[in-house]
Each structure stands twice: as C-alpha cells, then as structure tokens.
Amino acid sequence: MKGWMGKIKALALMSFMAVLLTGCGKENLTALVPKGYGAEESMKLIILTTVIMGGVFLVVIVVLAYVLIRFRRKKGQENYIPKQVEGSKTLETIWTIIPIILVIIMAVPTTLISFDLADASDSKDHINIDVTGNQYWWHFNYQDEDIQTSQDLYIPVGEKVYLNMISNDVIHSFWVPSISGKMDVNPENTNTMYIEAYEEGVYWGKCAELCGPSHSLMDFKVIVVSKEEYEQWVADMKNYDPEKDEPESAVAKEGKDLFEENNCMACHAIGSSPVEVGPNLTNFGNRTKIAGFKEPTKENLVDWLKDPEEIKPGNLMTGKYPQLNDDEAEKIAEYLMQLKVTDVTPESVNN
Ligand code: CUA
C-alpha cells in the first residue's frame, strides 16, 4: 500500500511539473527566451544564481555523502564518541563567510542592472510613454505624440522606450517577460523603466502584483513593429479624427448612436481625448484581445457588453450603464469592431 502511495505521489508531482513547465514555454510569454534588453539581463542573472545555487547544492550533497560513508559506525566502535566540534570558531567563520560572498556575487549585478533599467537620464532623446495601471487594464499615453491608447502598446524594434508608470488605484506590476523585467506600478509615485525589444512580434504582458479578483486577467500586449511601421502607426493615430469618422454600415451607425445614448463616452474616449476612466477605444477593431484576454470576436464583445462581471469579476464597468439587450449589444459591438484607424495591426507584424 505504501509503495503505491509513493508512486501516485511521484506521478502527481510529475504531472504538476509538466503542466508548470509547459506554461513556461508559452510563446512570447517566457523570461527564458529573452527578446529584449531587460529580459536578456534578467536571463544572465537567472543563469548566475542557478549556477551558484546548483554549486552549493552539489557541494553539500558531496560532503554529506562523504561524511555518511567515511564516518559510519564500524564494528567494535559502538561506544566510540568522536571529537566534538560544537562551537568551533573556524567552522562557524567558514560557513558564515562563504554565504556572504555568494550573496554579494548575486547582489552586485542584480543591483547594477536594476539601477540601469530605471536610469532615465537620457530619456529626452527617446520615446516616452506614460503607463497607468487600472483595475484591470492598462492605459498608454505617448507623451510627445499626444496619442492615447489602451491595452496594446506599439513600440519600434531596437529602440529605447521610456515608461513612466503610475497606478490609478491599487499597486500593479508591469511585466512583459520576453522583453523586460517587472516594475511595480504604485498609486503614490511614478516609477521609470526603459524597455528595448530586439525582434518584431506580439509579446504578452501580465500584471505581476495581486491587485484584486481579476488580477490574473489583467493582460496586455506589446506589439513590436519596424521603425517604418511605427511611424505609420503614429501618423495614423495622430491624424485620426473621430468627429469625421462615420461608420459605413447602418448597423454600426445605430451602434454609434447607442454608444452615445448610453453615455459610454463618460468613461471611454475615442481619439486623443484625455478621458481615461475606462480604456481608450481608438483602433479598438485592431485589438489583439477583448477585455485583455478574450479572442477579438464580435460574439465575445457582445458577451462582454451584456455582462462584464461574468468575464472579469470586480471590473469597474459593471453597473455603470443600463443593461443592454441582445440587439443593442450587437449594434454597439458592430460599431466598436469597425474602429480601425491604421493598417499596422498585430497580424501585419512579422512574428
Ligand atoms: Cu493589476 Cu494584478
């Protein structure tokens, strides 16, 4: 019976590890395949600390095995008591100093890279973006371009991008594992970090600080495009004038009217309006996801509009507008899905 329990436990552990490690390998959501400066530096630290820890583990195991074999009780020595080393100054000193040295070897590069990533001294020469964390979405304000957007952060490949990060409510943590390390996003003070991506692609971002019931759903994307595409994206976003943008289809037009009648604009903006109670919806039709993690289909958007609480518990949209019936939700969804202001889309990016 005992043997069986052992096997079941081993099997359970193996299954758990398999699931865990498969999760680590998710495309563009892994710190183990760095595609940006911060992630690359973090990877070096991961290797350094793993080598040191592995070394310590090996030394301890070897010494333990040696002692167990070399000093095992021999026949005829049953009552022999070896020399006692309790309180030995030499031993105490050795095993105090060695860990201190190891900790210093790990702490110095970790501290240097942390300060380097937060160093904003040359930010004037680069792109500056204000990042605001909200329960449970992200707002991005491109300072120099006066572009407001949410959830999808477009940046050019191979360029430093400075992020000035603050929270609108509780503490969040901005983390794009493939591109950079984490940075806490606090309500009280602005934290700065720069990111630089080496390859074009769509990278997953996560909130890495427990911030409420939908913390694990507070996803976003960093879309790394070529310099030309970035310039195109900036121009399209800047030139977009929501006043002049009339939907083509009759259904979308009705959706636009319903959007206005239901006072959605009190929280959401389309265009470069400073309103940011809720996500800015400019270019919504090109979003990689709906609500941060659902596939961008009209059906999912209708579900969201009808009952956001069901999809993202604790979100601040729930209860802020009259309950929509199927027809109204369909029309508003039709309107939102056609809000596409640029040809630079996640699909057009070389992945
Ligand atoms: Cu925001 Cu977790």
Confidence (pLDDT) at 82:
83
Angstrom distance (rounded) from CA 163 to CA 146: 15
pTM of the shown model: 0.85
At 163-195, the pLDDT tens digits run 999 999 999 999 999 999 899 999 999 999 999
Angstrom distance (rounded) from CA 339 to CA 65: 67
- Average pLDDT (96-106) is 95
Interval between CA 9 and ligand 1 midpoint (Å): 33
**What is the number of the ligand 1 atom nearest to the C-alpha of 136?**
1
Does residue 312 have its Cβ closer than 6 Å to ligand 1?
no
Closest by alpha carbon to 117, among 205, 187, 47, 176? 176
Interval between CA 250 and ligand 1 midpoint (Å): 39
At 19-47, the pLDDT tens digits run 555 555 566 888 899 999 999 999 999 99
- Mean pLDDT lowest for which of 13-17, 255-259, 330-334? 13-17
- Mean pLDDT lowest for which of 3-7, 146-150, 200-204? 3-7
**What is the number of the ligand 1 atom nearest to the C-alpha of 218?**
1
Interval between CA 219 and ligand 1 midpoint (Å): 9
Interval between CA 218 and ligand 1 midpoint (Å): 6
CB 138 within 8 A of CB 220: yes
Which residue's C-alpha comes closest to atom 1 of ligand 1? Answer: 172
**DSSP H or E stretch at residue 162:** strand 161-167
Does residue 165 have its Cβ closer than 6 Å to ligand 1?
no
**What are the contacts of 203-206 at 24+ separation with CB within 8 A?**
203/28, 203/29, 203/35, 203/176, 203/178, 203/179, 204/26, 204/28, 204/29, 204/176, 204/177, 204/178, 205/138, 205/153, 205/174, 205/175, 205/176, 206/29, 206/175, 206/176, 206/177
**Is the pLDDT assigned to residue 110 strictly greater than 70?**
yes
- Average pLDDT (275-297) is 92
Does residue 218 have its Cβ closer than 6 Å to ligand 1?
yes
- Average pLDDT (46-65) is 96
Q: What is the CA radius of gyration of the chain?
A: 27
- Average pLDDT (250-255) is 94
Burial of 199 (0-12, 13-18, 19+ CB in 10 A): middle
Angstrom distance (rounded) from CA 274 to CA 280: 9
Burial of 344 (0-12, 13-18, 19+ CB in 10 A): buried
What does the angle CA 333 – CA 339 – CA 345 come to, to the nearest 5 degrees?
Answer: 115
The gap from C-alpha 58 to its chain's centroid, in whole angstroms, comes to 34
**DSSP H or E stretch at residue 94:** helix 89-118
**Is the pLDDT assigned to residue 3 strictly greater than 80?**
no
Angstrom distance (rounded) from CA 283 to CA 329: 19
**What is the number of the ligand 1 atom nearest to the C-alpha of 215?**
2
**Is the pLDDT assigned to residue 332 strictly greater than 70?**
yes
Confidence (pLDDT) at 10:
73
**What is the number of the ligand 1 atom nearest to the C-alpha of 133?**
1
**Is the pLDDT assigned to residue 107 strictly greater than 70?**
yes
At 210-242, the pLDDT tens digits run 999 999 999 999 999 999 999 999 999 999 988
Q: Among residues of the chain, what percentage have pLDDT more than 90?
A: 74
Interval between CA 211 and ligand 1 midpoint (Å): 4
Interval between CA 73 and ligand 1 midpoint (Å): 57
Q: What mean pLDDT, rounded, does the chain reach?
A: 91
Interval between CA 208 and ligand 1 midpoint (Å): 6
**What is the number of the ligand 1 atom nearest to the C-alpha of 208?**
2
Q: Among residues of the chain, what percentage have pLDDT more than 70?
A: 95
**What is the number of the ligand 1 atom nearest to the C-alpha of 135?**
1
Interval between CA 217 and ligand 1 midpoint (Å): 8
